[in-house]
Amino acid sequence: MISPKEIEELKRHQRQTADKSAYAKVTCVLMMHKGFSAEETSNVLGISISSVYRYFRSYSVVGLDEFLQTDYKGYWGQLSSVEISILRTELKRNIYTDAKSVATWIKDKFAVTYTPQGTVDMLNRIGFTYKKTKEVPCECSIEKQEKFVQEVAEIFEKLDDRTIVYYADGVHPTHNSRSTYAWIEKGTELEQPTVSGRDRVNINGLVNAKDVTDIIALDCERINAQSTKELYQLALEKHPKTEKIYIISDNARYYKNKELTEWLKGTLITQVFLPPYSPNLNLIERLWKFLRKKVINTEFYRTKELFRKAINEFFKNITKYKPEVDTLLTLKFRLANSQSISF
């Protein structure tokens, strides 16, 4: 129902507006409220019957001020731009896992019927796509992440040719093929052989924040304090003229080992620790994902030694992938609250 106060406000806008579109929209609402049919209103105002329904429905949902905003003159398909705006807000606030659920919400909210496929097409038009949600550890603290970002930003601001920043992490690829997405002819299957073993290759690694093809990957029996010390020593040997090396890592025990900490006091290396549960802020995590994409998920290795050789060859020939890693390993990150930051 439209209140008497709203009627007076609509009539005032009807008298004062010089905008033909705004006049038609306001008059449409007044006529429908008075009991005119959609067809009669359409004939009087010279607008389509579907526009009559859209205008009246939009006003009842958002009220006069937003109804008259010039930003909302157009519309997408069966929904007005105002309704599209409301739908976008709903999709950002709540999770819908299928098009049918969205179509049901639209029908309940706007009395407009969409088929599931029509809903998919409409959602694509307004900038939404169907993809996996991103897992984020519930234990992570946005306050700690923001504090870490501020600390690292200060490091990057002072970065010069004599200073290097590495991101560190260990990875344990399992010797086994994994199914992946690929372009496969319709009606056919692409079979990937697998092995039954669970042998792993242990890689302790560093990636240079400013030169992502500067990767030090140590193939070791175990990732522990000793292999980490060996890894750090390789970094020092690789950059003999460097005056300072920052190494950003998570809080694994081997990074905080007492013996390693004592050894670091006599070196140019300074460790910087990520907040707990913050893999999203560790650049090297993207390198491991790229490794799986290029080497692990797309090939079959009959023996563990062939598997290990392929992984080591990947790191040895990393410049082969330079255009891809330069694009992938940028210093742009997303915090736990979805805020984007860059260094």
Task: Report how far residue 245's alpha carbon sits from residue 239's, in angstroms, rounded to the nearest whole number.
Answer: 9
Helices 20-34, 4-16: inter-axial angle, 10-degree rounding: 150
* Residue 282: per-residue pLDDT: 96
Q: Are residues 170 and 108 in the same domain?
A: no
* Residue 178: per-residue pLDDT: 66
* Residue 133: per-residue pLDDT: 76
Closest CA to 144 of 244, 10, 276, 292: 276
Sequence-separated (6 or more) residues with CB below 8 Å from residue 291: 171, 173, 311, 314
Q: Are residues 91 and 167 in the same domain?
A: no
Residues 17 and 69: beta-carbon distance below 8 Å: no
Q: Are residues 118 and 202 in the same domain?
A: no
In this structure, is residue 131 part of a structural domain? no
Q: Are residues 208 and 334 in the same domain?
A: yes
pTM comes to: 0.63
For residue 223, give its domain range.
142-180+194-342
Token duo for residue 287:
């390198």
* Residue 74: per-residue pLDDT: 45
Residues of the chain with pLDDT under 50: 70-75
Read off the pLDDT of residues 103-160 as tens digits, 9 standing for 90 and up: 999 988 888 889 988 899 889 888 898 887 776 666 778 899 999 999 999 999 989 9
Token duo for residue 181:
């997405």
List of long-range contacts for 125-130, beta carbons under 8 Å, 24+ apart: 125/76, 125/77, 126/76, 126/84, 126/87, 126/88, 127/88, 128/88, 128/91
List of long-range contacts for 64-67, beta carbons under 8 Å, 24+ apart: 64/6, 64/9, 64/10, 64/13, 67/25
The whole-angstrom distance between residue 132's C-alpha and the CA centroid of its chain comes to 10
In this structure, is residue 229 part of a structural domain? yes
CB atoms within 10 A of CB 208: 20
Q: Are residues 57 and 150 in the same domain?
A: no
CB atoms within 10 A of CB 95: 8
In this structure, is residue 188 part of a structural domain? no
Q: Are residues 199 and 112 in the same domain?
A: no
* Residue 160: per-residue pLDDT: 92
Read off the pLDDT of residues 10-41 as tens digits, 9 standing for 90 and up: 898 888 888 888 888 899 999 998 899 989 99
Tell me if residue 319 falls in helix, strand or coil.
helix
Q: Are residues 76 and 147 in the same domain?
A: no
Q: Are residues 88 and 153 in the same domain?
A: no
Q: Are residues 150 and 283 in the same domain?
A: yes
Q: Are residues 71 and 210 in the same domain?
A: no
Domain count, the chain: 2
Closest CA to 228 of 164, 314, 169: 169
Q: Are residues 238 and 100 in the same domain?
A: no
